[in-house]
Structure 1
């Protein structure tokens, strides 16, 4: 055996003792071993630092130790870690071909294996085990930062229980149940004895109905219903259920969106485990969800809705302080904003004669994606059907839309500067006209017009006849999934937003009011995920409009590995969390709602923002490859 062959075998033996090499194929280990070079660094020697630019090598500690300055842990701390035998660096910088954010110094006399950058990237492509290791590393760091940020918010609400608690933990006692043939007299006696506010009607342990105290007046007392009537005749059938493993947030969102006061927790077989009431959630959270929703739904004028909107903002801040994740919080904000919009429409509707018109109020943009943050404006439209000609009914619809839009403006939803509102005659259209508009965009796409039109591809019904919106979405998906030229152009538009990472400096920032160092977290952050997710979803016929849902459903069809997908999802959540934190600060001006001072980030947040943007670059690279751009 030659000396080189002996050295190669020794290197393979060394690598096989350490992760991730211990799980890799023999041919991949041989590939590495043949290309590694051994380098010596005396104690105190700087092996790698940001000023050196993108690393020329990927390093594996063979003997000794490497000190990493600024690598880990919590906010505003000068931290360091020690890499010892078999550990690798710099994973993030090597994966992204960018300068490292850390300084790597020999803590003692140290030997490191060096793998050239080109060989490192070849290994990423040919070894799924190595690729998963590097990807999971990034996802873990993002998750760690997310957790740290949540913990900092939780310090503001130490006395409040988290929204992540499972429903099984909230169940305080056995539910009060009865079969469907139980008389009202028997049911009321049992409820009174147990001091329960509800009775669940079950068959073989599975809930089929519920009767609550609030049902007694309209269903029993006022109609003079005889007390020997079976409870099945007055119960609410098919009550809403959630798995006992669902969270308090899931129950809160269900109550907010469905207008219900009780959620039934069930096991895997659908059997009743317990009843969660609004009171249970209020006692846990100390938030006024019930009062807020009632104020919205029973508002008789815009003044009450204006106050409700302000209370919603405060409630959202409280949930953020509890550590509620960005995905759940933006869904919650969107759901409660939906309630306000519907009530404005309900107050306006009696003033306009729309009795013979099928209509649906559409949400576009962030509201259509259920991703509204604390700073948002209006993006809406109307779709309708009527046997009467347009020139007869459109003035009525526009008058209705104009009053709704003005009311929303008063309630804290500013007018859209781009006039993407139902009061715009171009956005109050018949179903056929909307379909023609979509068909024109798809069949004869103009790059500039298409860039402005993408917001309409995130449509969601808010009020009226939802079937009209569903028909419009179906039309959109059918035409896009079969038109590769349109997909190609839509992908090109998605790639027009550049990832703000520089070759030399960490971030490419912009100037605001004469000051440099700002980063727009909407334009140069969230949008980097929103736009590609839209392309992939439309190309694969995914009807979801939420960015995370789009990625989760479209990624497997696009060939994105699950580990890569998880890193991308975490990256988007992190950027959304930064936006929410920025907007909840009381001094934040509206013009700065999404503008971040990069220098104000602590070292860990700065590193995680960079890693998040690397995931955005990875998503864009997937789009470039898919459409040969």
Structure 2
């Protein structure tokens, strides 16, 4: 190589992911090893110059790869890399490659790239043979005070819990709490958790009233206390405590108490924006006051991004804020219209049910009534639903364009009617039925009588269990959309040959993982709604293996990180939230890792089609 070319190659390598991670002297050494090749338009690069030869970088121009059957594999342009997948092969190349423009290529010899990987963990992870490993190392752990609220309850709960019997005298309970230095005690009737008593109860219900301390603690305990699972995010537990104004939250797993969470002081003293906003939502006494809090949601979103919080945790926190708005509005509605005349459950659906909301998410919800209402009761729930849905819209959660809301008479019916809906959806595969059941397979209790939602979810699982044709139809329907082949210059390279100007990251990527996880979870008999939890349950039930779970989870994480960065950029410029990303706005790092994510999704779409015999089901 002519020495005059070296500075130009060094500068170029400094713009190419992952070689921008190298020190200046390392890039000089790398540049000195580069071979330069030139292809004329339509000229092919022989396979024996790719297999086992090294790593290629497109300096200028463009090339395309085709599978052995002639179908397009991908197109590559300036700064794109190829050849690594063939580095350890021998014999025939896994694809053919030809120039679609006059093209200049840089080739890094095999031994040079192998030595780089040995000496640099960042380079090694980037060129891992597994896309999921490359994606896993594309993120960084969250930092600062925000990060503590993204831990699980089990990481911060108190495992030493005072436990007393219902007939224990109040005086003895107070002594036990003092001896163990705890602010609460759990009260049991036999082996069953019957209640909880706190130091505040001792003050307000005993000392302030002059109550005889020889009385049993059951006289002052809070009966049937709220509980939380040890795997729940800490922020979710704190949200429960704020909503119900409780100071101590028992932690239960498989019917057994494993600890207690006493986070009230943490909430009161916290300046973390997300937790503070949730606490403020529950303190507002009018819809107008709630609307005044809406601008803070964007500030929370930006703070979480600034703290380098991962995508899943951002979604959880944004969803918990939406839950708080929804629940407080329901409380205001009951204040306005009076107590509900019959038991009911308000549930959320869609991204809110999956704990996967973002700044642009709309509302999806419904009401389950315990029994058929009379005319007056029906009017009550109609008024309540209309008020709540409009109030949510006023608070920045837009009305659902598909009218999947409790304000729609169809989605405000007794449990028996909902169960008939399920029967029809599963038995008949018309397009509208597929749409409806897809929406309501993602539902989560939010407010009211919880067992009604549990009963509906159980009906869904029972109906689809072993229903092979239903699974095939669900998979076939989801496969109508495929991830892009890749990103080529300013275009999104699609499988149908249509090079689009923008990437619809929700439709062409996010939803595809959501669909796969939903089907896998149903096949596993899981009632989970969150995508990562569905993948976990499917892996635990051997529907997929742990490698499949990891790959899909990492792809989902990275796709959402790119999505949130786009939405944050749009918000900072005062734009309207959307999911349409111009490829030119992506960094080389994002482009490369999105390609990995697309390949993972495509691979598992094909696997799902084969597993559930979905080929040719829908035409």
**TM-score normalised to structure 2 length:** 0.69
Inter-partner Cα distance in structure 1 for 2:226 and 2:422: 39
**Correspondence for 1:340:** 325
CA shift at 1:97, angstroms?
A: 4.7
Q: Is the 8 A contact 2:520 2:543 kept in 1?
A: no
SS at match of 2:309: coil
* 2:511 aligns with one of 527, 549, 558: 527
**Correspondence for 2:205:** 219
In structure 2, the CA distance between the partners of 1:503 and 1:68, relative to structure 1 (3 Å rule), is closer
* 2:534 aligns with one of 550, 559, 568: 550
**Correspondence for 1:138:** 131
Inter-partner Cα distance in structure 2 for 1:47 and 1:536: 47
Inter-partner Cα distance in structure 1 for 2:532 and 2:41: 33
In structure 2, the CA distance between the partners of 1:475 and 1:592, relative to structure 1 (3 Å rule), is same
**Correspondence for 1:394:** 378
SS at match of 1:615: helix
Inter-partner Cα distance in structure 1 for 2:414 and 2:310: 39
In structure 2, the CA distance between the partners of 1:225 and 1:143, relative to structure 1 (3 Å rule), is same
Q: Is the 8 A contact 1:517 1:599 kept in 2?
A: no
* TM alignment of 1:312-391, pairs within 5 A: 312-352=297-337, 355-386=340-371, 388-389=373-374
* TM alignment of 1:200-599, pairs within 5 A: 212-226=198-212, 234=220, 252=238, 255=241, 260-262=246-248, 277-280=263-266, 286-287=271-272, 291-352=276-337, 355-386=340-371, 388-389=373-374, 393-451=377-435, 453-502=437-486, 508=492, 517-555=501-539, 557=541, 559-585=543-569, 586-587=571-572, 591-599=576-584
**Correspondence for 1:620:** 605
- Relative contact order: is structure 1 or structure 2 higher (C-alpha 8 Å, sep ≥ 6)? 1
Give per-residue Cα distances to partners, 1:463-514, cap 9 Å, x unaligned.
222222222222222222243333222222111122122597796279xxxx
CA shift at 1:436, angstroms?
A: 2.1
In structure 2, the CA distance between the partners of 1:52 and 1:317, relative to structure 1 (3 Å rule), is farther
Give per-residue Cα distances to partners, 1:117-146, cap 9 Å, x unaligned.
5699xxxxxxxxxxxx99972111101112
CA shift at 1:547, angstroms?
A: 1.6
CA shift at 1:264, angstroms?
A: 7.9
Inter-partner Cα distance in structure 1 for 2:241 and 2:44: 52
Q: Is the 8 A contact 1:162 1:323 kept in 2?
A: no
In structure 2, the CA distance between the partners of 1:628 and 1:379, relative to structure 1 (3 Å rule), is closer
Inter-partner Cα distance in structure 2 for 1:247 and 1:451: 31
Inter-partner Cα distance in structure 1 for 2:169 and 2:605: 61
CA shift at 1:301, angstroms?
A: 1.1
SS at match of 1:421: coil
**More moved, 369-378 vs 49-58:** 49-58
Inter-partner Cα distance in structure 1 for 2:284 and 2:460: 36
Inter-partner Cα distance in structure 2 for 1:54 and 1:299: 68
Q: Is the 8 A contact 2:187 2:197 kept in 1?
A: no
1:44 equivalent to 2:35? Answer yes
**Correspondence for 1:89:** none
SS at match of 1:146: coil
CA shift at 1:447, angstroms?
A: 2.6
Inter-partner Cα distance in structure 2 for 1:184 and 1:48: 89
Q: Is the 8 A contact 2:333 2:384 kept in 1?
A: yes
Inter-partner Cα distance in structure 2 for 1:112 and 1:468: 57
Segments of structure 1 that go 5 or more residues without pairing to the other structure are 1-41, 72-95, 121-132
CA RMSD of aligned residues (A): 4.8
CA shift at 1:536, angstroms?
A: 2.7
Inter-partner Cα distance in structure 2 for 1:326 and 1:555: 21
Give per-residue Cα distances to partners, 1:322-347, cap 9 Å, x unaligned.
23322222222222322221221121
CA shift at 1:596, angstroms?
A: 2.0
CA shift at 1:263, angstroms?
A: 6.2
In structure 2, the CA distance between the partners of 1:358 and 1:162, relative to structure 1 (3 Å rule), is closer
Q: Is the 8 A contact 2:251 2:258 kept in 1?
A: yes
Q: Is the 8 A contact 2:243 2:282 kept in 1?
A: no
Inter-partner Cα distance in structure 2 for 1:220 and 1:433: 48
In structure 2, the CA distance between the partners of 1:52 and 1:166, relative to structure 1 (3 Å rule), is farther
Give per-residue Cα distances to partners, 1:254-305, cap 9 Å, x unaligned.
64677544568999xx99999763444676x631566544433343211222
CA shift at 1:116, angstroms?
A: 3.0
Segments of structure 2 that go 5 or more residues without pairing to the other structure are 1-32, 60-71, 97-125
Q: Is the 8 A contact 2:370 2:414 kept in 1?
A: yes
**More moved, 601-610 vs 528-537:** 528-537
Q: Is the 8 A contact 1:461 1:469 kept in 2?
A: yes
SS at match of 1:362: strand
CA shift at 1:617, angstroms?
A: 1.0
SS at match of 1:584: helix
Q: Is the 8 A contact 1:47 1:105 kept in 2?
A: no
**Correspondence for 2:596:** 611
In structure 2, the CA distance between the partners of 1:579 and 1:222, relative to structure 1 (3 Å rule), is farther
1:116 equivalent to 2:92? Answer yes
Inter-partner Cα distance in structure 2 for 1:393 and 1:54: 75
SS at match of 2:593: helix
Inter-partner Cα distance in structure 2 for 1:247 and 1:542: 19
Inter-partner Cα distance in structure 2 for 1:58 and 1:564: 33
SS at match of 2:447: strand
Inter-partner Cα distance in structure 2 for 1:465 and 1:310: 31
Q: Is the 8 A contact 1:501 1:507 kept in 2?
A: no
**Correspondence for 2:108:** none
